Amino acid sequence: MTKRIYSLDVLRGVAISIMLFLDGPPDKIFSILEHPQWAGLTVPDVALPMFAFAMGAAAAISMSRREPSAKKILKRTALMFAIGVLLEMEPFFLLPIFSDSFTAADFLDRAIIHGRLFGIIQRLAMAYALGTFLALAIKNSRGILLAAFVLLIVSSAGYHLYAPENPFDEAHNISQAVDYIFPGVNHIYRPTHDPEGLYGCLATTASVLFGFLAGKIFVDQSSARDKIFLFIAAGVVLSIIGGVWSNFDIISKKLWTTPYALINAGLDFLLLALFMKLFDAVPAAKKFSQPLVALGMNPLFFFVMNNALLTFLYVIPNGDVNNSFYLQLYWNTTQGLISTEFGATLFCAIWALLWLPIAELFYKMKIVIKL
């Protein structure tokens, strides 16, 4: 198995842990653990940008050994996109089996005529492709940094030029306008917007490019101390710029706005610095972070399997999501324990922990699933 970078695996592990923990809350959980309705930044909002950032870092490290061909990049992108589309369509494959009332006409309407095209994995796939092709074309770090900021400036300017009076109005913004053109109003998450729509790929690609810069620092021949300094400097500068930019643009995951991308990239750089320093100063800390590494070695696998299993458990036994097996598990275990929020949050934590034995098995057997 190719030598891995421990701090990067831990970062990926943190991202996927948050996703496993918070992707399927059965009830109301603590507000800091819920996505904001439109603008703001809470715990789950850091997971996907962290995933994109780590994807860029891993791509840079891989490219330092051997540059991928355009065919390989496009093949991986297409495979990821296809997996994402299948995840979106999974309920409609299961409902005819478990629900007597779900007809062929329902499948045609909900899966084809009104089926959602984009999703989290599709967004990652497109940002990976754009980011990798840009990094291959530019090569040097300054150029990649410039490209990231150009994408963020274009993304921000689009909102202000399209709707100068209220650029980030939920019912009227450029991201929504692009969604209505493609894939069309029938194929987006909500009538007003799709949080993984096409326009957000601009800023998401910038997140991937920031990850590329981190990867290039990792493979640089400089000392660990110098790398930690660069990570801290990048993290502080990007966080400050993002904070200043938030006076002009909202911080929103649903739109993947410029300050959202910058603040998250700053956080990711700082976490890498923290992990590198921690594992260097306290080697025993690796023992406690090993479960994160186990998850971080196969983040996409665990994300896909988690979502696929959640969908399955929400469909059985009879296709009624309001009386699903998943909710029955919750009702008969932690519901109402101390409070609604505590019981639901505890259930989410138990659900996430159930994935650890599989991750540990993969880790011990050195199984790394790559696309």
- What is the average pLDDT across 283-306? 94
Residue 371, in any domain of the structure: no
Domain that includes residue 138, residue range? 6-364
Residue 214, in any domain of the structure: yes
Rounded CA gap, 237 and 249, in Å?
18
Give bridge partners of residue 169 from the DSSP assignment. Answer: 172
Residue 79, in any domain of the structure: yes
- What is the average pLDDT across 284-313? 94
Query: Could you say which DSSP state residue 111 is in?
Result: I
**Is the four-CA dihedral 95, 100, 105, 110 of positive or negative sign?**
negative
Query: pLDDT, tens digit, for every residue of 236-276?
Result: 999 999 999 999 999 999 999 999 999 999 999 999 999 99
Residue 1, in any domain of the structure: no
Q: What is the pLDDT of residue 1?
A: 45
Residue 95, in any domain of the structure: yes
Around Cβ 79, how many Cβ atoms within 10 Å? 13
- What is the average pLDDT across 64-78? 94
Between helix 201-219 and helix 141-162 the angle, nearest 10°, is: 160
How many percent of the chain have pLDDT more than 90?
90
Residue 340, in any domain of the structure: yes
Query: pLDDT, tens digit, for every residue of 183-204?
Result: 999 999 988 889 999 999 999 9
How many percent of the chain have pLDDT more than 70?
99
- What is the average pLDDT across 24-50? 95
Q: What is the pLDDT of residue 321?
A: 84
Minimal CA–CA distance to 264: which of 243, 285, 294?
A: 243
Residue 262, in any domain of the structure: yes
Number of domains in the chain: 1
Residue 304, in any domain of the structure: yes
Query: Could you say which DSSP state residue 321 is in?
Result: G
127 band by pLDDT with thresholds 50, 70 and 90: very high
